[in-house]
Amino acid sequence: MQTSGKLIWLDGALVPWDDAKVHLLTHTLHYGLGVFEGIRGYRRADGRTAIFRLGEHVDRLLQSAHICTIEVPHSRAQLMAACVETVRRNEMTEGYLRPIVFLGDPVMGLGTLENPTRVAIAAFLWGAYLGDEGLRRGIRARVSSFTRSGVNSSMAKGKICGQYVNSILAKREAHATGHDEAIMLDHNGHVTEATGENLFLIKGGRLFTAPLAAAILAGVTRDSVLQLARDAGIEAREELFNRDLLYVADEVFLTGTAAELTPVCEIDGRRIGGGEVGPVTRRLQQAYFDAVKGAAPRHPEWLTYV
Ligand code: PMP
């Protein structure tokens, strides 16, 4: 359970947390056409708070809306300023931001264009998404029995509310069978991503992850890790691979704003590598935490100070 903030930014103004309510006939609640983001701010080693890659997250929010033909009634600059203000006015030194663009009430029916487009930004404390123990020691995953929707069925480049039904079914199935997370394959059996994280594997010292042409979200953390790997001289390849390469990988890890960089130590009952967090994963995890909250940021362009 996450710890709530005090104020929520709603349609241009901060309102008390408990007053940020919507009507039952909110269109997005029924049909799922809405878009959202997940963003983290960290208290850095110097004591200052910085939001990680805020511009890229707001860009993706606007692109997700564009994919959905939703016109957002606020500019990129306004949304970035609203995120900063939400953190500041909630007096948070670290936390998670959840912007959402949704279609309001009251008209039902799929084709209506009458409802207002609404925007909210909530801020709250949210610990390690896959658990502190998962971050430290790795998680157990399974390949899902649910297939990731095809690239012409779902718009994977959009972070679209309704698309998360596919991920939630997979996540619930994983939990029901005693796993921490599910890995999604596409219709051809290629590994795409996990339910809310991108996936990387290491084989022979090289890093592999699915290409952007696959049915994956263009993760901001994925992009950060690819850059950090290149900084560290680790060869990184974006190409398709199948589940058997997961089983024989030296190391596997997941990336996401919420999950950060979480190692995977077991998949479908098979130990990955030595069954412990591997050296490349450890190195990249350290580089990631240095980037988001370390003393000497290698990529100051990724930080928006609050
Ligand atoms: N894939 C999916 C399906 C996700 O929901 C997320 C979380 N936003 C990610 C990947 C990771 O994206 P990011 O690193 O931008 O948080």
Determine if ligand 1 sits within 6 Å of the CB of residue 118: no
Q: What's the token pair of residue 210? A: 């699915």
Q: Assess whether the C-beta atom of 104 lies below 6 angstroms from ligand 1.
A: no
Distance CA 39, CA 248 (A): 33
**Matching residue, tokens 């130990």:** 271
pLDDT in tens, the chain (306 residues): 567 889 999 999 999 999 999 999 999 999 999 999 999 999 999 999 999 999 999 999 999 999 999 999 999 999 999 999 999 999 999 999 999 999 999 999 999 999 999 999 999 999 889 999 999 999 999 999 999 999 999 999 999 999 999 999 999 999 999 999 999 999 999 999 999 999 999 999 999 999 999 999 999 999 999 999 999 999 999 999 999 999 999 999 999 999 999 999 999 999 999 999 999 999 999 999 999 999 888 899 999 999
Instruction: Kindly tell me the burial class for residue 6, based on how many C-beta atoms sit within 10 Å of its own C-beta (0-12, 13-18, 19 or more).
Output: middle
Ligand 1 centre distance from Cα of residue 99 (Å): 14
Express each pLDDT in 101-131 by its tens digit.
999 999 999 999 999 999 999 999 998 899 9
Of 265, 2, 284, the C-alpha closest to 128 is 2
Q: How far apart are CA 46 and CA 10, in angstroms?
A: 31
DSSP state of 86: H
Is the Cβ–Cβ distance between 175 and 131 less than 8 Å? no
Ligand 1: nearest atom to the Cα of 57:
15
Q: Cα(106) to centroid of ligand 1, in Å?
A: 31
Alpha carbon distances (Å) from 258 to 10, 127, 208, 235, 242 = 22, 8, 21, 25, 25
Give, for ligand 1, the residue of 98, 198, 199, 255 to mutate: max count of ligand atoms closer than 8 Å to Cβ.
198
Residue with tokens 């959009």: 158
3-class DSSP assignment, residue 123: strand
pTM of the predicted model, to two decimals?
0.97
Provide the Cα torsion 8, 11, 15, 17; round to 10°. -40
- Cα-based torsion angle of the residue sequence 301, 284, 220, 259 in order, rounded to the nearest 10 degrees: -130
Look-up of token digits 């698309």 = 163
What radius of gyration do the chain's Cα atoms show?
Answer: 19
Protein residue with least CA distance to atom 5, ligand 1? 196
* Helices and strands counted in the chain (H then E): 8, 18
- Which helix (H) or strand (E) segment is 100 a member of? strand 95-103
Q: DSSP readout, 3-35?
A: EE-SEEEETTEEEEGGG----TT-HHHHH--EE
Domains annotated on the chain, with CATH:
2-126 (3.30.470.10), 132-293 (3.20.10.10)
- pLDDT tens digits, 45-79: 999 999 999 999 999 999 999 999 999 999 999 99
Written as one string, the DSSP assignment of 210-237 is --TTSS----HHHHHHHHHHHHTT--EE
In 59-73, which positions are buried (b, 16+ CB within 10 angstroms) versus exposed (e)? bbbbebbeebebebe
Does 222 sit in the ligand 1 pocket, CB within 6 Å? Answer: yes
Rounded to the nearest 10°, the torsion over CA 179, 2, 284, 216 is 70
